[in-house]
Amino acid sequence: VKLVESGGGLVQPGDSLRLSCKASGTVISTNFVAWYRQAPGKEREWVATVVSGGAFAYADSVKGRFTISRDNAQNTVHLQMNSLKPEDTAVYYCHSNVRGANYWGQGTQVTVSS
């Protein structure tokens, strides 16, 4: 199983970005997929999850601004991030648990700065 994130970059406050998590070696619709982030000097924190049944959950800090979605045809999970704030700056990681084993992507950097 491999998870590969993409879509990070440098943006200004208020801008939007869409992150993608492309999975291989597993069918993404049969597992939960979560996004986490880790800012410099801070612990990794949970951002959002989509479960196999399609339900979503978000951290309070991103609720109303971020949207997680799943593209089953592309075996990819997206994280649409709107109204970005400087405090959203972090490395964003994709995570899933497949048959009892945890998998993480390599991360993609998101920097929000004026």
Mean pLDDT in residue range 61-89: 97
Average pLDDT over the chain, rounded to an integer: 96
Burial 77-96 (b: 16+ CB within 10 A, else e): bbbebeebeeebbbbbbbbb
In the predicted structure, residue 50 carries a pLDDT above the cut 90:
yes
**What confidence score (pLDDT) does residue 93 get?**
98
Structure-derived torsion over alpha carbons of residues 81, 87, 92, 96, reported in degrees to the nearest 10: -80
List 94's β-bridge partners, or say none.
35
Alpha carbons 105 and 65: distance in angstroms, whole number: 23
